[in-house]
Amino acid sequence: MTFDSISLPEVANLVVGILGGTGDQGKGLAYRFARAGQRVVVGSRSAERGVEAAAAIAAMPGVTGMVTGAANPAAAEASDVVIVAVPWEGHADTVAGLRQPLAGKVVVDCVNPLGFDAKGPYPLRVPEGSAAEQTESLLPESRVCAAFHHVSAALLADPAVDRVEVDVLVLGDDRDAVGVVSALAGRIPGMRGVYAGRLRNAAQVEALTANLIAINRRYQAHAGIRITDLD
């Protein structure tokens, strides 16, 4: 079995909601999905800021998908797949408040719980194990995956970057949901979604972002990862 022989579902018609879509990572992902032709709803704590961000993204080069904005609950309601890209500080509260609109949906956590001090970045301890497992515990009716942790927000947001050449590690216990998320990653040129284990193995994937930041600082790069020996 090779990477290419893993069949993925058709996802072009799914609406992608992005909670925290006004932050760097959320906005960057919203842009790339809209540029890939996906229908995108940008969620924010305030509907007004969501609408503003959506208008800004819709005006960016190459966007072909419709982009609208809303408050987080309405964005969750309107979407088929919902990416959680809120700051770690408000993560639990935001997620817990959306249990109803997110029930039954594929929810993709991409949050990296990191701290920073004089020595640089380091992973924060999360009682549930990881941000993704916290989401899983708060959304028992949702199909929770983790993905999109290592994608440079700077590259996502740069219209001159045609291809985002990285692998997205997709974690989850629901195989169909993992397939949907992997297929979505594959909609962005250069990106591949690679299944990388169950949700209980999400903590180190989130924490690895600290290492990528250290790499970026040493080499002045926008580091991501590729998995080798997958063709």
DSSP 104: T
CA nearest 62: which of 152, 157, 131, 150? 157
Compute the distance between CA of residue 167 and CA of residue 1 in angstroms, rounded to an integer.
18
Cβ–Cβ < 8 Å for 19, 53: no
Q: State how far Cα 147 lies from the chain centre.
A: 6
- In the chain, the amino acid numbered 203 is A
Compute the distance between CA of residue 203 and CA of residue 128 in angstroms, rounded to an integer.
10
Residue 204 binding its own copies, by CB under 8 A: yes
Closest to its own copies by CB, 66 or 214: 214
The site map against its own copies for 147-166 (x = CB under 8 A) is -----x--x---------xx
DSSP 13: T
- Give residues 113-142 in contact with its own copies (rule: CB under 8 A): 119-123
Residue 16 binding its own copies, by CB under 8 A: no
Cβ–Cβ < 8 Å for 229, 1: no
Residue 200 binding its own copies, by CB under 8 A: yes
124 strand-pairing partners: none
Residue 183 binding its own copies, by CB under 8 A: no
Residue 177 binding its own copies, by CB under 8 A: no
Residue 7 binding its own copies, by CB under 8 A: no
Q: Write down the least CB distance from residue 124 to its own copies, Å.
A: 12
User: Which of the ranges 36-44, 46-54, 57-65, 189-197 carries the binding residues for its own copies, by CB under 8 A?
Assistant: 189-197
Residue 88 binding its own copies, by CB under 8 A: no
Compute the distance between CA of residue 13 and CA of residue 139 in angstroms, rounded to an integer.
24
Closest to its own copies by CB, 47 or 214: 214
Who's near 137: CB < 8 A, 6+ residues apart?
A: 128
Cβ atoms < 10 Å from Cβ of 123: 18
User: Which of the ranges 20-28, 95-103, 132-140, 204-212 carries the binding residues for its own copies, by CB under 8 A?
Assistant: 204-212
DSSP 117: E
Closest to its own copies by CB, 48 or 226: 226
Residue 176 binding its own copies, by CB under 8 A: no
Q: Write down the least CB distance from residue 202 to its own copies, Å.
A: 9
Residue 171 binding its own copies, by CB under 8 A: yes
Compute the distance between CA of residue 113 and CA of residue 128 in angstroms, rounded to an integer.
12
Q: Write down the least CB distance from residue 23 to its own copies, Å.
A: 21
Residues that bind its own copies (CB under 8 A): 1-3, 6, 119-123, 152, 155, 165-166, 169, 171, 194-198, 200-201, 203-205, 207-208, 210-215, 218-230
